[in-house]
Chain A
C-alpha cells in the first residue's frame, strides 16, 4: 500500500511526461554528482585544520591579541542580547498572573539591548577601534547601523508625508538620490569628506563607515516605514484629530506604533541587507569577516586552502542569514495572527 502510494507519487511528480522524466534524470544525476564530489572532498581531501587554526582571525580579525579576553566578553554579551530578544519576541502569550512582568520585560528590552550594545562598544575599547575586525565587527557594525538608521529613516518617512511641501520635496529627493547610488560610493564619499570637515580629528574609519551606512540605509528604512504608514487607514488619523490630538500626538501615539508593526518584517530584512553589505567596508580598509578570510588566503601558509575557507565563510553567512530570515518569518506570522 505504502509502496504503491510512493510509486503513484513518483509518477505524478517526477515522471508525468517523457520530458519530465528526462528532467528528473538530469537533475538527479547532476545533483548526485555534485553532492558526491562535494562530500568526498569535504570528508577526504579537505584540510579543515586551516579554519580551526585561523579561527581567531575569522572571529576578531586584526584585533590586538592581548585584548582577546575583552573580545570574548563582548561576544558573550552580544549572544546574551540575541537570546533575550529572541525569548521576548517568540515567547508564548503570558498567563494573567505573569503578564505584568512579561510586559515590563518587553518594555525594558529595547533599552536593555541599547545599553548592552554600548557596553559592548566600551568593552572592545574604542581606542583600538581601527583594529576591530572579523565576524565580531561585522555583527556589531550591523547592529549599530540598523539601530542608527532607524530614527533617521522614520524621520524621513514622516517628512515625506509632511504637510509642508518643501519638507516633502527634500525628504523624497534625499530618499530617491540615495536609492539610486551604490552603497560603496556613498561610504567612500563620506569617508573622504569627513576629514575635510574635521581635519584635526576625523575619527576612526569605523565611525566614518558607520555614518555612510546610516545615511544610506536610512533611505531604505524610510521606504519600509512609509509602506507601514500607508497601511494605516486615514479614518484613524481623522478620529484622533477629532479627539483633539495634536499632529505630534497623532503621529507618535496612533500612527507610528501601528505603522512600525507593519514595517517590522521589512525592517528585519533590511538588517539582513546591512549584514550582507558590511563586506563593502573593505573600500575604507576595514577587516570584516570576508576580508579576514581573504587575509588568511593571502597568508602563504594557508594559501592553497581556498575552497575550505570559502566553504566555511559561505556556511557562516548562510547560517546568519537563515537566522534573520527565520526571525522575519516568525514575526510576520505573529503579526498576521494578531490581526485576525
Chain B
C-alpha cells in the first residue's frame, strides 16, 4: 500500500499539512516570545519587590546629587574644557570621569600593545633561533598566567617597589618613582605665534601626503622641509618639557600615576602576547612561494617583509585584533584591584555613597556594551577600508 501513497502527487497532499505546520510554527514562535517576555516581567517585578522591601525604588535621581567624594586622578569634561573633579560635582559627573579614565587607559594600552605585539609576533618567526625561542617562552608565560596576578605584580611588586621620589634617578629625562612615572613630553611653547604653528602643521600634513602619494614625493618632502624650517625660524612652536623633581613635587613633563602605569603595563604585555600569536599565525599562513618569488625577483628580506608580507598580514589579522581590543577594554575593569579610578571603581564608590548599586551597575554595564561595540565598529570600518585599499592596488 505504501507505494500507492507515494504515487499521489506530493503537492496535493502536502499542502494542508504544510499549512498546519506553518500555523503551528507561528504559534510556537509566539509562545517562545511570550515565555521570554513573561520571564523578563516576572524578573523585573521580583527585583522591584526586593528593592521595595529594602525601602528604595528604582530611581536615577542620584546621578544629579552631590558626590561628596574625591577622585584621586581624573579630569572632568565640561563645556568650558577639562577640569579637575571635585567633591562638589554630581555622581553622574563622577561616573563620567571614570568612563573617561577607562577610555584613556584603553586607548593607550591598545596603541602600545599593537606596537609591541606586532614586533613580538615578528620575533616569534625570526630566523634567529635564540630570539625565536626567547619570545616563545615569554609569550607562553604571559598567556598562561592570570591577568590579575600580572596586574597586581606590576603594581605591588614593580610600581610600588620603585625608589621614593626624593631618591629617584633620572633615565633619559624620565623619572621612575613610587609616586609615579614622569616622562619628558612635547608641549606647545607659550611664545608660539600663529604663523609658526600653522607652518608646522602644514609641514606635518605635507609629510603625511608624501607618505601617501608616491609620485611627487620628493617635491612634497622639500616643501615640508621648507615649512618646518620657516616655523623653526619664526620661534620654536614645540618644546620638550622635562620633568623636574623638587622634593615631593614634580613640575613639567607628563606624569603618570603608579596605578595607571601598572594597568597600562599589565594590559599591554598581556594583550601583546595574544597579538603576537595572531601575527605569527598570519605570517606562517602566507604561502612559502611568496617568499621564494620575492627572493627570485631580487627583493631583500626587509623589502619582502615591508612590501609583500606586512600588507597581506595586516589584512588577515585585523578582525582578530578587534577581539583582543574588546577583551582589553573589558579587562580595564580589573583596575579596581589596584585602585585605578576606572568606571567600575568609581561606580563602586558611587554605589557605596548613594546605596544605588543596581541603577549604577546597569549604567556601568551599558557603558561597557557601548565601548565594546564602538571598538568593534571602528575596527570593522578600518577593516573595510583596508580591504578596499587592497582591491584597488
Partner-B contacts on A (CB < 8 A): 13-14, 16, 20, 23-24, 27-28, 31, 163-167, 170, 177, 180-185, 188-189, 192-193, 195-197, 199, 272, 275-280, 282-283, 290, 294, 297, 306-307, 310, 313-314, 317-318, 321-322, 325
Contacts and interface: CB of A to CB of B under 8 A. Distances in A.
Contact of B141 (A23, A192, A197, A318): A318
Contact of A185 (B32, B145, B157, B333): B333
B358 interface: yes
Contacts of B372: 180-181
Contact of B149 (A20, A283, A290): A290
Contacts of A23: 126, 128, 130-131
B25 A163 contact: yes
B144 interface: yes
Contacts, number: 133
Given A13-B128, A16-B127, A181-B330, A290 B148 contact: yes
B333 A184 contact: yes
B51 A196 contact: yes
Nearest to B160: A306
Nearest to B323: A179
A197 B47 contact: yes
Contacts of A310: 149, 153, 157
A196 B46 contact: yes
Is chain B's interface secondary structure helix, strand, loop, or mixed overall?
A: helix
A143 to B, nearest CB: 17
Contact of A317 (B53, B144, B337, B357): B144
18 contacts: A14-B130, A23-B130, A31-B134, A180-B326, A180-B330, A181-B368, A181-B372, A188-B361, A192-B361, A193-B47, A199-B53, A276-B146, A280-B334, A290-B152, A317-B144, A317-B149, A318-B145, A325-B144
Q: Which 7 A-B pairs have the closest CB atoms?
A: A196-B50, A180-B372, A321-B144, A13-B129, A182-B330, A276-B146, A182-B333
A290 B146 contact: yes
Contacts of B131: 23-24, 27
B36 A166 contact: yes
A165 B29 CA distance: 7
Nearest to B137: A31
A23 B365 CA distance: 46
B196 to A, nearest CB: 40
B368 A313 contact: no
A192 B359 CA distance: 11
A213 to B, nearest CB: 14
Interface in B298-327: 326
A70 to B, nearest CB: 27
A275 B32 CA distance: 35
A216 B194 CA distance: 54
B157 A306 contact: yes
A165 B129 CA distance: 53
A20 B47 contact: no
B209 interface: no
Given A188-B361, A282-B337, 14 more contacts: A13-B130, A20-B128, A31-B134, A180-B373, A182-B330, A185-B368, A196-B51, A199-B53, A276-B144, A279-B146, A306-B161, A314-B153, A318-B145, A321-B145
A177 B366 CA distance: 10
B130 A27 contact: yes
Contact of B331 (A16, A182, A282, A283): A182
Interface in B123-145: 126-131, 134, 141, 144-145
A321 B146 CA distance: 9
Interface in B343-375: 344, 357-358, 361, 364-365, 368-369, 372-373
A283 B351 CA distance: 14
Nearest to B47: A196
B162 to A, nearest CB: 13
